[in-house]
Chain A
Amino acid sequence: MDKKNIQSILWDVLEDEIPSETIKLWPAVKADLVAGQQQGEKMNITRERRITQVAFGSLVIIALLTAILLTPPGRAFAQNVIQFFIRIESTSFELTPSQIVTEEPDPAAPTAAPPAPLISVAEAEAQAGFDAAELPAVPEGFNYLGARLYGDSISIEYQAHGYGGNLILMQSRDGFNQSEWDQVPEEAIVPVKIGELEGEFVKGMFVVFAGETSAAWNPEAPILRLRWMKDGIWFEMTKFGDVDAIEYLDQAGMIALAESIVYAP
């Protein structure tokens, strides 16, 4: 039997197992696109914890994300996925009743979900199934914490000296988790270059104040995010907080760090 015969036999065998006419995936694929929005909740829950850590006072961040978020139409999703950040025309969006916070948060209260346990980068790589890029050295003003695994995404984390800030390098083969909390007003997105690579930089994020019925974009929130893609891996570097030890780290500094990542530090 030659190759064509084997191909023909395999096709017949598989057609017998799963007849072509029974394969109709479009409705499920379309539903998956919408569900992709909900997937973004997981990362935002962890972001919420860090925001609490950097003491945003009365800011109530992403604790609300345990609720199922309304998802925009699939068309809008498809338009947005071709960019690193989801664009939004408005600087606010309405909350669902379950998302509205009536009291100031207790900073000591546990967050909606604890972060994944800290592990070594090697352990994270083994579980995620790909080599993680790392910073060649611990950035000035930070201590190295370790790695965490969220699904197949690896998060390498640093903590500011004296607490009050973090630097997180998240990387994944499957793209960024996206939810409405990851939306960014168009005007807040800064196209940047990481070496020869395209990327996007954002300062600020959507926040919720107690009693408010909508989330509002806060351009002064001390959260800096840089997203880019390299060799099929999606990267997000996020700086939380702005305490003295890490105040120096701005857009240019983060880009310089991003350009310095290596696979064997």
Chain B
Amino acid sequence: MEDRAAISRLKQGDLNGLEALVNRYQVQAVHAAYMIVFDRGLAQDVTQTAFVKAAERIHQFDEGLPFGPWFFRIVVNDALKLAKKQKRNVSLEEQLDESATRFAQWLRDPGSQPEQLVEQKETRQVILQAIRSLPPEQRAVIVMQYFLDMSEKDMSEKMERPLSTIKWWLRDARKRLRNLIDTPES
């Protein structure tokens, strides 16, 4: 069932429409939420709640627009609120352990191949650890940029922050992450 048909059915009270949307977006949504809250159970809770909210607000949704960005804004917003409450963010310096430093060195080594490196479970954990070390807002903009393909302007609207703040967050986040995965600024 296409999104538009699913939304139309949901607006008429047909839960099969919502089920189709859940099946289509649940994986990406849980992964995005996890990137922000770093707790599998909470990520699933946030996503469940976001689907319920989407159902409640579906009459507000313009069927001429894509459902995904509208829905993921709910997910990111709720995950961010939760993350702020948890105050789980700790400084990068506290989180960067020896393996993280080693990974960064591997990536800077011209002979190394990052795609192979990230296949190693340990390395993947280092990447997650690095992202986890960022403040919640910066984790959110990472998700919005790399997961949801949102523009900085969209992020500014979503986060209700000036564009300059978003740019600063992204720049700072990239700078921090670059220490690990050698990401050039775009």
Contacts and interface: CB of A to CB of B under 8 A. Distances in A.
Interface string A1-35: 11101111111111111101001111011101100
B5 interface: no
B55 A7 contact: no
Given A3-B145, A16-B124, A17-B40, 12 more contacts: A1-B181, A6-B181, A6-B183, A14-B34, A16-B121, A23-B30, A75-B13, A75-B15, A78-B13, A83-B59, A175-B56, A229-B60
A76 interface: yes
5 contacts: A1-B182, A1-B184, A8-B115, A32-B48, A175-B57
A18 B30 contact: yes
Interface string B1-30: 000000000111111001100110011001
A86 B118 CA distance: 51
B52 A29 contact: yes
Interface residues of B, number: 49
A8 B81 CA distance: 26
Interface string B124-161: 10011000000000000000011100000000000000
Contact of B27 (A10, A20, A32, A79): A20
Contacts of A80: 13
A247 interface: no
Interface in B76-132: 81, 107, 114-115, 118-119, 121, 124, 127-128
A139 interface: no
B35 interface: yes
A81 interface: yes
Contacts of A151: none
B23, B52, B53, B121 interface centre (most CB from chain A within 10 Å): B52
B18 A3 contact: no
A23 B44 contact: yes
A76 B13 contact: yes
Contact of A23 (B27, B59, B128): B27
Contacts of B58: 81-82
Interface of B: 10-15, 18-19, 22-23, 26-27, 30-31, 34-35, 40, 43-44, 47-49, 51-53, 55-60, 81, 107, 114-115, 118-119, 121, 124, 127-128, 145-147, 181-184, 186
Q: Is the interface of A mostly helix, strand, loop or mixed?
A: helix
A9 B30 contact: no
Contacts of A104: none
B55 to A, nearest CB: 6
B127 A9 contact: yes
Interface string A57-93: 0000000000000000011101111110000000000
Contact of B114 (A1, A15, A23, A83): A1
Nearest to A174: B53
Given A5-B114, A13-B127, A17-B128, A28 B182 contact: no
Contact of B52 (A20, A32, A79, A83): A32
Contact of B15 (A7, A30, A129): A30
B18 to A, nearest CB: 7
List the 7 closest A-B pairs by CB distance, nearest first.
A79-B13, A82-B59, A14-B31, A13-B124, A29-B51, A20-B27, A32-B52
B15 A74 contact: yes
A204 interface: no
B30 A7 contact: no
Contacts of B43: 18
Contacts of B13: 75-76, 78-80, 82
A36 interface: yes
Contacts of A24: 26
